[in-house]
Structure formats: C-alpha cells, structure tokens
Structure 1
Amino acid sequence: MPALEGKVAIVTGASSGIGEAIVKELVASGMIVAGLARRIERVEALAAGLKGEKGKLSPVKCDVTKEEDVKNAFAWVKKNLGAPSVVINNAGVLKQSLLSSCDMKDIQMMFDTNVVGLVACAKEALNSMVENKTEGTIININSLAGHYILAFPGVSGYNATKFAVTALTEGLRNEASMLGANVRITSLSPGAVESEMTDQFKSQDQSEGVLDHFEMLPAKDIADCALFILKSPQRMNISEMTVLSPKETGLTQAKATATMLEKMAPK
C-alpha cells in the first residue's frame, strides 16, 4: 500500500461537490493538497476548516479552460509544495439543453472544461511525473455517461464530453506505458451524486423531481473510491471504477426519463 502522508496532490474543481470531498479525504490522510478552482474563496474557506488535520490544503486559483492558468498552477505547486505524485482531474460542467435549441456557449463550456481542461492538466501531470521519475497516479473523474448513451433529454452534449474522457484516459495510459513511466491512470465513473451539478435536476416545487427515482450517492462515497485507488499497490492499475447506488438501474433511469419528458411537454 503506497504511503500517502507527506505526498503532494493536485485536485481540480476543489470548490464543491466531489472535488471538495476528495480534498477532505486526502488532507485527512496527511497529503499536501493543492486545491484548484475558479471560486478560490470557497477553497480558502475549506482550507481554514481543515486546519488541524494531518495534511494541508493550499488554495490555487485556476480556470482549467485556460492553458496558461493550468501551467501557472502546476508551476506554483512544484515551486511551493513539490512535484505532485497524485493529480485528480475533477473539474466538470453539465449544462442541460437540447441540441436542437442549445446555446452554443454552453456546449463550448462543457467541452472546454470537461475535455480540453482535463487534457491540459493531464499533460502537465504526466510530464511532471516522467521528469521527476515519480511513482504517480492520475485519476480522471469520468461518469456513467462516459460509457453509454443516457436517454435523458438535454444531456447529449455532456454525454459526448464524457465519452471523450473515456477515450482520453485510455490514450493517456498508452502514452504512460510508451514513456516507461511508473504512473497509474484511472477513470472513476460515478452515477448520480449529490452535488451542485445535479441540483438542476431537482424539483423546485412539490412536483416529482427527475432524480427522485434514484438514491443519489453522497460525494464522500466517490472520495472514498479515490482513496481506495490511491492506496492500492503501485503495481496495480485500476483502469476503470464505476460506482452508483443500487437503486440507480435501467428501470429507474427509464422512470427519470419519463419524468423529464413530461416536464418538457408543451402545456
């Protein structure tokens, strides 16, 4: 089991949801964590709340859609904390809209964040680990949507970005092997998780919500999965981990789809 205490980790999208939960778990395990996010004030508040834990959180302002931000953030981490042995690409966006009536800015934002931003961070991470001969781990927070087409109206754009994450993760693993790097690369694919991202699917009144058919997992469960991956032996690469509630099934997804269609039907 690799020792985590004292090692440096970078987590993107650290201001809320899964990213925030992962940061808490890593700091509790004694890691020196750089929490990257646009909403830096939220990471600063999180850091203040984690004082006294075994590890430490350093907030770093970064918009992963801007390559220069990513480069500067990784350079800051190397200079101030040390070369990272763990990078968790968690930053993600879901803008629900039909392709036939979508705002192209929303589609652009999803691809810039979920795909291009992930590549920018993965590039810096792998190059750093190769340069420093680091026994490293890169975890891409993917989604159930990265493995099959969801029938939910309005999520096709998001679905496409996560399919891209699946392909990019496999490609990154091939490159790590080609470069002779001792770097594990994992796709961690949750189903429905309690977060700001899924709040948009909740009913704002007393009517049935789209996700009422599911029992959504708390973000901490996904953080526990990330910790399990990191604590597994370095010789073992968990290439894909898919995790969802026992109540998230084909049947409940069909019921959720029916609820969405009913809400979207002309009145």
Structure 2
Amino acid sequence: MERWSGRLALVTGAGSGIGAALTRRLVKEGMRVVGVDLNVEKVQALGEELKGQPGLVIPLKCDITKDDQVLHMFQRIAQKYGGVDVCVNNVGIMHNLTLMNGTPEEWRRMMDINVIALCLCTREAAKSMLERGVDDGHIIHINSVAGHQVANFPSMHFYTASKYAVTALTEGMRQELRQTNTNIRISSISPGVVRTEIRDTWLDTEATNKFYHEYPSLKPEDIVSSVMHALAAPPHVQIHDVMVRNTRQQY
C-alpha cells in the first residue's frame, strides 16, 4: 500500500457501514479520503476521530442522485486537491418491496443510486485519472452476491436487478479502459450479508435483529480487507470480482 500514501481516494456513503470502515483504513494507510455522504456530519465526526493518523478525511456533502452536484464535486476535488486516484462506489439502497407491490418511484430511486450515480462517478473518476496521466488509478464498486444470482427473497428482486447491472458495468468499463491503453483498474467486491445500516431503510429494529439472527453476517471490516487486497495488488494485476460470504451463509 506504500504507493497509495498521500494520494486521494473518493468514497461514497462514507458516513456509515462499509464506507466508514473503509475510510478509517485508507486514512490509516496514509491516504487523503474525500468522504461523501448526505449526512456529512457523520463524516466530519469520522475526521475528528482520525486526527493524528497518517492520512486525513475531507468531508463533502453531495446528493449523488443529482448530476449537477456530482459534477460540481469532481470539479471541486480537481481544483482543491488535484484529482481522484481511487474511486470507491460504495453507497447503495434497497427497499422491502416485491416486484408485485413495488412502485416506480422507489425503483427509480434505487436505480439512481445503485446504478446511475455509480456510472457517473466512475466516468468522472476515470476522466480525472486519464487527464492527469494517472496510469495506476483504481475504481472499485461495492457490489453484492445479489449481483450474481437471483435468490428467493422477493423483497430483494429489484435490488438484485440493480446489482446485476453493476456486474455488467464492471466488465464493460474494464473493456473500455483497455481500449484507452491505460493500466487503470476496476474491481467489483461482492459481499454477502453484512451487518450495516442498509437494512434499516426497510426493516424495523425487531425485524432487523431477527434477520441477522437467521442469516449469518459479515462485518464491514471483512469487506474492507477485500478492498485492500485489490488495491494492494501489483499494478499489472486486476482483482476483477471478489465474492465474500460468511462461511455459514447458504445462498
């Protein structure tokens, strides 16, 4: 990880869960981390917690479903910090609705966050790297095992569709980067069940606790380990897609 020390990483959804755990690790490795979250106060608190570490946290509020805000974010990063060397598309949402009772509004919001914002951040990060001649940049998608199989969880079926899109987009971007004759890499990290706040959006506390009791889960730090493995690989090695499950997870 020595070559990443002092360089800049963008992490979306940095205020909680996998994003917060990854921000902590990258800062401890000496990176400057632009932590993006709608709840920027959480990222600010994380920055205070990590003062004295080799790197630092740069909190930034951005609604990644708003194209103009995302573009402004990248412009601001370029003007103040030079540009992005690592981009981690971490933020994602899901809803507790089946395809039979879901609504277009909720489907569109899930696609806006899980797919469209991911594509826009990826495009702008790659552009930043290419314009500056950064030949070893890295883009990482926090995907899901749901992006590889359709499990019999009806309330997750639209979420699954959005993550299948991420799987396809990872390979598509890999091919496009190869056509630019660059060594910029792209990786997809696909966790199984992870105990984070994402299920708080569609389950109450009792249901959430029951879910995690029934389905063995991973910790955010377990996913961070896989991200670090991809980042630390030699520049000529692309860790393309890693699936990470609890050893007792069934699907």
TM-score (norm 1): 0.89
SS in 2 for 1:91: coil
- Alignment partner, residue 86 of structure 2: 86
**CA spacing shift, 1:201–1:136, aligned 2, 3 Å:** same
Question: Gapped runs of 5+ residues in structure 1?
Answer: 251-267
Tell me whether 1:214 sits opposite 2:215 in the alignment. Answer: yes
Task: Provide the aligned length of Structure 1 versus Structure 2.
Answer: 250
Query: Given residue 152 of structure 1, which amino acid in structure 2 is its aligned partner?
Result: F
Deviation at 1:80, TM superposition (A): 1.5
Match of 1:30 in 2: 30
Identify the range of structure 1 (63-72 vs 1-10) with the bigger mean alpha-carbon deviation: 1-10
Change (3 A) 1:200 1:212: farther
Deviation, 1:204, is 4.0
Unaligned runs of 5+ in 2: none
Q: Deviations over 1:82-103 (max 9, x none)?
A: 2221100011111120111113
SS in 2 for 1:209: helix
Which amino acid letter does the alignment assign opposite residue 243 of structure 2?
T
What corresponds to 1:61 in structure 2? 61
Number of the residue aligned with 1:195: 196
Deviates more, 1:138-147 or 1:202-211: 202-211
**Distance in 2 (alpha carbons) for counterparts of 1:121 and 1:82:** 16
Mapped contact 1:137–1:183 kept (Cα < 8 A):
yes
Between the aligned partners of 2:209 and 2:121, the Cα distance in structure 1 is 39
* Counterpart in the other structure of 2:158: 157
Secondary structure, in 3 states, of the residue corresponding to 2:246? Answer: coil
Residue 47 of structure 2 contacts residue 58 of structure 2 at CA under 8 Å; is this kept in 1? yes
Take 2:145 and 2:200, find their aligned partners in 1: how far apart are those partners?
A: 17
Aligned partners of 1:156, 1:185: CA distance in 2, in Å? 26
More divergent stretch after superposition (24-33 vs 199-208): 199-208
Give the secondary structure class of the aligned counterpart of 2:154.
coil
Aligned positions of 1:1-267 closer than 5 A: 3-134=3-134, 135-199=136-200, 204-205=205-206, 209-250=210-251
CA positional deviation for 1:2: 5.5
Structure 1 residues 34 and 48: CA distance shift in structure 2, 3 A: same
Percent identical pairs in the alignment equals 37
The two structures have a TM-score, normalised by structure 2, of 0.94
Q: CA deviation at 1:203?
A: 7.0
Across the aligned residues of Structure 1 and Structure 2, the Cα RMSD in angstroms comes to 1.8
Amino acid at match of 1:230: L
The 8 Å contact of residues 133 and 182 in structure 1, kept in 2 or not, is answered as no
Q: What is the deviation of 1:208?
A: 8.1
- Per the alignment, do residues 236 and 97 of structure 1 end up closer, same or farther by CA in structure 2, a change over 3 Å counting? same
